[in-house]
Copies of this chain bind each other. A is one copy, B any other.
Amino acid sequence: MAKPTPLSGFPEWLPDGRIVEQHVLDTLRHTFELHGFAGIETRAVEPLDQLLRKGETSKEVYVLSRLQEEDGAARSGSEKQLGLHFDLTVPFARYVLENAGRIAFPFRRYQIQKVWRGERPQDGRFREFVQADIDIVGAGELPYHFEVEAPLVMAEALGALGEIGLPPVRILVNNRRVAEGFYRGVGLEDVEGVLRQIDKLDKIGPEKVSELLVTECGATDDQAKACLALASISGSDVAVIDEVRALAESYGAVTELLETGLAELGALIAAAAQRAPGVVVADLKIARGLDYYTGSVYETVLVGHEQLGSVCSGGRYDTLASDGKNTYPGVGLSIGVSRLVSRLLSADLVEATRSVPSAVLVAVASEEERATSDAVAAALRARDIPVEVAPSAAKFGKQIKYADRRGIPFVWFPGSTGEDGAVGADQVKDIRSGDQVDADAASWMPSDEDRWPRVVPRG
């Protein structure tokens, strides 16, 4: 078999990279659980008709077939065609409906899983990547304060990664009610169309968006100008609310919907200023054009890495799911974990202190004495110290090299039996300093820094 080559769009990490990813996942999970979110996993596949309910994403779906099928056997009528999920929202909505009778609402859940998109990999987009989602879903109703809470949980989760070297994040928030209220106030009815054009601002610039608003959404030059003026407003304190209202007044465009949206956005900005100062910014150009949000919308950039795009997005849906009897509104955000980890690694922002869990390599004097080394290892593990035993009874220099190559800080030498039959003391060597001291496997302990591999900012 020839040496295989990587598949474009399907990232994999070497063991030290995986330590970084695992640390990120553990940190996110811990923060989510501190905030009372229950973890779930859903299957990787959904019936294709479910995945295609939103037409826009259809082109991204990987469809499954069994190899047998291709060999001629027809799929039985009862068996639905399946596709890999492309996000965690569609499966979560299905899970909520399927288990509605067994879940207590409002239901706070997190979900950390891989998703797949069949698109051609480009611009650092992946075909397989990990998302970490939180959502709060209500039965029938969901108070606005959850729209304040959800991005603040993400601010805390991403902030906790600052310790290992993740740059600070800025969460950009907007409110669909503000946008819709304003657009209708200036006389534009095709709200979705306008949002879709505004969403292109960062890509194609205001002039082209203005043209498109005129040609695609039937806006007058003045209406287009008003939309662009709204999109240009941003700020991290509540003054931004007054700025929007003043703009709307100048166009005679103050509507009830706008006022509702502004009150909501103002509450979010005010709470965020207190609970996560400097992190949350109202940015009136955030549109999330293709998604069916109805209230708050969120995007998140890494400061200094804005061109990476949003690493955590989401918003409020009035109808996350509906089964005819009940409607389930929800609010949530999704972190693009692979995008984040990929940047942490490729930009050399972080590193693992070693590539293996082992803090100690127990040396083996001879294959006949391997059981002695195994016993030392077992004694250390019993006190929760990660240990491996040397693979062969090579010369000690070679065994030390084995440890060094993996970043294992300590090599343990079981006491040897002298010619008089007396057993010498065990010794442990810190191979970084060369210090070697007597040690007892029943009591020796490495420092907290050395015990497990850690993830640290790259020096």
Residue A396 interfacial (CB < 8 Å): no
Note all chain B residues with C-beta closer than 8 A to A357.
33-34, 36-38
Contact of A106 among B2, B10, B42, B391 (CB under 8 A): B391
Indicate with 1 or 0, residue by residue over A42-55, a CB within 8 angstroms of chain B CB atoms: 11110100100000
B14 with A103: CB separation less than 8 A = yes
A12 with B67: CB separation less than 8 A = no
B67 with A34: CB separation less than 8 A = no
Indicate with 1 or 0, residue by residue over A153-171, a CB within 8 angstroms of chain B CB atoms: 0000000000000000000
Within 8 A of B (CB), among A260-318: 271, 274-275
Note all chain B residues with C-beta closer than 8 A to A358.
36
Indicate with 1 or 0, residue by residue over A400-428, a CB within 8 angstroms of chain B CB atoms: 00100110000000000000000000000
The oligomer's copy count stands at: 2
What is the chain B residue whose CB lies nearest that of A45?
Answer: B10
A45 with B128: CB separation less than 8 A = yes
State the CA gap A423–B105 with chains docked (Å).
32
Note all chain B residues with C-beta closer than 8 A to A44.
44, 114, 116, 128
Residue A235 interfacial (CB < 8 Å): no
A355 with B38: CB separation less than 8 A = yes
Indicate with 1 or 0, residue by residue over A375-413, a CB within 8 angstroms of chain B CB atoms: 000100100111111011000000000100110000000
What is the chain B residue whose CB lies nearest that of A384?
Answer: B34
Question: Which one of A187-195, A226-234, A237-245, A321-329 is at the B interface?
Answer: A321-329
State the CA gap A98–B4 with chains docked (Å).
5
A39 with B22: CB separation less than 8 A = yes
Within 8 A of B (CB), among A90-106: 94-95, 97-100, 102-104, 106
A13 with B35: CB separation less than 8 A = no
Within 8 A of B (CB), among A77-127: 80, 82-84, 94-95, 97-100, 102-104, 106, 108-109, 114, 116, 118
Residue A18 interfacial (CB < 8 Å): yes
Residue A211 interfacial (CB < 8 Å): no
Note all chain B residues with C-beta closer than 8 A to A356.
36, 38, 108
Residue A432 interfacial (CB < 8 Å): no
Interface of A is mostly: mixed
Number of interface residues of A (CB under 8 A): 98
State the CA gap A452–B371 with chains docked (Å).
39
State the CA gap A275–B377 with chains docked (Å).
12
Residue A437 interfacial (CB < 8 Å): no
B67 with A65: CB separation less than 8 A = no
| Closest beta carbon of chain B to A94's beta carbon, Å | 5
B143 with A392: CB separation less than 8 A = yes
| Closest beta carbon of chain B to A41's beta carbon, Å | 6
Contact of A406 among B97, B104, B323 (CB under 8 A): B104
Question: Which one of A56-64, A172-180, A202-210 is at the B interface?
Answer: A56-64
10 closest A-B pairs by beta carbon, nearest first, are: A36-B388, A66-B118, A36-B358, A33-B357, A10-B43, A15-B38, A61-B67, A62-B64, A34-B381, A4-B98
Please give the residue numbers on chain A whose beta carbons come within 8 Å of chain B beta carbons, in ascending order.
1-7, 10-15, 18-19, 21-22, 33-45, 47, 50, 58-68, 70, 80, 82-84, 94-95, 97-100, 102-104, 106, 108-109, 114, 116, 118, 128, 138, 143, 145-146, 149, 271, 274-275, 321-324, 355-358, 367, 370-371, 374, 378, 381, 384-389, 391-392, 402, 405-406, 452
**What are 10 pairs between A and B in contact, CB < 8 Å?**
A2-B323, A3-B97, A12-B43, A35-B386, A61-B66, A61-B67, A63-B64, A63-B70, A143-B392, A271-B371
Excluding A33-B357, A37-B357, A63-B67, 6 further A-B contacts by CB distance (< 8 Å) are A1-B324, A2-B324, A11-B43, A15-B38, A15-B39, A35-B387
